Amino acid sequence: MSLLQAATEVRLNAWAPYSRFKVGAALRATSGKVYTGCNVENVAYPEGTCAEAGAIAAMVAGATPALPRSGSSPTAPNPCPAAAAAARRSPSLPMPM
């Protein structure tokens, strides 16, 4: 499965009742396994979770140390800035965004 396809599929699971802007993200680990995440909004803005952070959390929970490639669904104009910054700051997440 391509990263774009995985991100597009998981986007359908997003919880975006306020913005109605659903986003999916997919990360491929060095093992080849694909981890996905979707955005989850919260009425207490900005306490929601971006799709990229969800995918990073899934990857960390799966005990995978590195992310050589990433992708996000076609509706996302850019990766979430907070998730991109976290990935750049962590040496265990060498992920180009």
Known catalytic residues are: 52
Query: How many other β-carbons are positioned within 10 Å of the β-carbon of residue 94?
Result: 13
The strand pair at 69-72 and 24-28 is best described as antiparallel
Displacement of CA 6 from its chain's centroid (Å): 11
